[in-house]
Structure 1
Amino acid sequence: MTKQQMIYDQVVPVSKERHGSLGVDTSFGYEFARGVRTVPIVAAEIPQAAREYAVVFAPTGNGNDVAPMAILSVREGEDLHLSNDGEWTARYIPAFLRRYPFVFANAGTANNFTLCIDESWGGCNRDGSGENLFDENGERTEFLNQLVQFNQDFQRSSQMTELFCSQLRELDLLDAKQAKLTSPEGTETRLTGFFIVDREKLKTLPGDKLEKLSRNGMLELLYAHLLSLHNLGVSTKSTQNLVTANS
């Protein structure tokens, strides 16, 4: 699950000196995401994402931390939600993709972030087309202000998602799984390296802990996640079998 970070190639801080004449073509589409099989989502996105994608929890590479991920395809070379001309065909587009080519980069201290842009994106231009980041006086345009706000909201949601996932670990609700999917032609695909909420552990939580999950909205997210697992095989018409990771 590494491709999602590879959509960013030439990332630099946004500045009026460097990007005063830069235009951003917002109609350029999502060709940059071709070949992306999984994408991070924040906790608040789970109910919407769960309608169309399988939502699982995957290691972040930072100790035992995990994060929710939407599975976009189960086999290499599949782009189930991307048309030939780069248009996203699913109804819900994860915020991680919607914010591209912009991203917040940590400026070296906690809660201090700098807005950056991937200059390698084909939608960047200096021919006067698209949305400008700065006006003729070097001031931020409304478009840029909206981008900053969107990324600030995304960053706050990411921090809340970390707390959400830490509570799942504290309650010992996550179980390592594999998925074996068999296509109508008999081809088998195996997905590994992810976690799902254990239904039995969830059902046997003490009443006070279940009540807390219900009151803070987490219980709704957990059931949406569990329901989303049906989507593993729906798009490819594959039959699926979830098994423990050591099976």
Structure 2
Amino acid sequence: MFENAIALDSKVHAKCKMVLSNDMTFARNTLSAPLSATEVVKASREFPIFFPTKGHFLPVAQMGYRKNGNLYVDEQGAWTARYKPAHLRRFPFVLGARGEAGQYVLMVERSLISEDGDGEPLFENGGVPEGGIVERAQAFLTDFQKELTRTEALLKPLRDADILVPRTYNITQGEETLGAVRDLQVVDAEKLAALDDATLAAWVRSGLMAIVMAHLHSLDNWNSQKNLGN
């Protein structure tokens, strides 16, 4: 999604404008999206939700199983699911890490800004216009980053409880393999039920159990995705 992202600069891009679009073509090859805790229940009604085996430990919405195969972007570039993860909604903006920990710079997809034509200006008089596109993007991305950080902390007990098991999903049609999803983990229901009452109660109170249950229910969406892809 962000292969051509550049850091925004009020001097370099002083005259640049942008036209926002509902075209989701950019997401055709985006097959998964990290989720904040506040998104999980809504996302679980649409997508299978898994947990990663490496990297940031966040719930992941799976949206396809082969290259350029996001199952929720149609031929016209329209989004067809009822819910759109914040990971996609932030496009064409993204936060890029600076040298210092916790410091970020606002970045944007290079091809979508221009000094020519119509659009909303990114900067005015050397600064960020109040309520303008840059300020809105900064607010959205800052909130999203905070939500992801809170979610990773919320999920730490799940990661430490040793109730996750690895899964590989192979999608076949007859003898042909259409695709595979690897490096994912799911909650083992038997191991979950074997946890002590104090742990389960703590998970209910913290909101972690709601995420776990949404994840388990979401796995039924895997069959729906197989049908969408065939």
Q: TM-score, normalised by structure 1?
A: 0.83
- Residue 147 (structure 1) aligned to one of 137, 144, 158: 137
Q: Choose which of 47, 51, 54 in structure 2 pairs with 1:53.
A: 47
Gaps of 5+ in 2: none
Cα distance in 1 for residues equivalent to 2:215 and 2:16: 40
In 1, distance between residues paired with 2:117 and 2:68?
35
How far apart are the structure 2 equivalents of 1:113 and 1:41? 20
Counterpart among 187, 203, 220 of residue 213 in structure 1: 203
Percent identical across equivalent pairs? 31
1:86: Cα distance to partner?
1.4
Q: Quick one: which of 107, 128, 138 aligns to 2:126?
A: 138
Instruction: Tell me which amino acid in the other structure corresponds to 2:15.
Output: S
* Displacement after TM superposition at 1:227 (Å): 0.6
**CA RMSD, 1 decimal:** 2.0
| Secondary structure in structure 2 of the residue aligned to 1:103 | strand
Q: How many aligned residue pairs are there?
A: 225
Offset at residue 77 of structure 1 (A): 4.5
- Aligned partner letter, 2:127: E
1:158-198: CA deviations, max 9, x gaps? 11122133221112221111224444x56455432210111
Q: Secondary structure at the match of 1:44?
A: helix
SS in 2 for 1:89: coil
Contact persistence 2:48–2:219 (CA under 8 A): yes
Query: Could you tell me whether the CA contact under 8 Å between 2:171 and 2:226 is conserved in 1?
Result: no
AA of the residue aligned to 2:96:
A
The residue aligned with 1:17 is 11
**1 CA distance for matches of 2:213 and 2:22?**
35
Give the aligned partner of residue 224 of structure 1: 214
Superposition deviation, residue 59 in structure 1:
2.9
- Give the letter aligned to residue 52 of structure 1: E
Partner SS, residue 196 of structure 1: strand
Q: Does 1:80 align with 2:71?
A: yes
Describe the SS at the equivalent of 2:185: strand
Give the 3-state SS of the residue equivalent to 2:88 in structure 1. helix
Counterparts of 1:230 and 1:116 in 2: how far apart (Å)? 37
Encode CA deviations 1:95-147: one digit per residue, 9 max, x unaligned.
11111121112222222211111213xx3232242222212x22312122111
Mapping for residues 29-108 of structure 1, pairs under 5 Å: 29-61=23-55, 66-108=57-99
In the other structure, the counterpart of 1:175 is 165
**8 A Cα contact 1:59 1:67, kept in partner:** no
**Which segment drifts farther, 10-19 or 192-201?**
10-19
Inter-CA distance 85–126: structure 2 relative to 1 (3 Å threshold) = farther
Deviates more, 1:125-134 or 1:208-217: 125-134
Secondary structure (helix, strand or coil) at the match of 2:58 reads strand
CA distance in 1: counterparts of 2:14 and 2:194, whole angstroms: 58
SS at match of 2:145: helix
In 2, Cα distance between equivalents of 1:60 and 1:30:
28
Cα deviation per residue 1:61-87 (whole Å; 9 max; x = unaligned)? Answer: 4xxx53321111123443321121212
The 2-side partners of 1:82 and 1:58 are apart by 23
Does the 8 Å CA contact 2:43/2:61 hold for their aligned counterparts? Answer: yes
Query: In structure 2, what is the Cα distance between the partners aligned to 1:88 and 1:98?
Result: 11
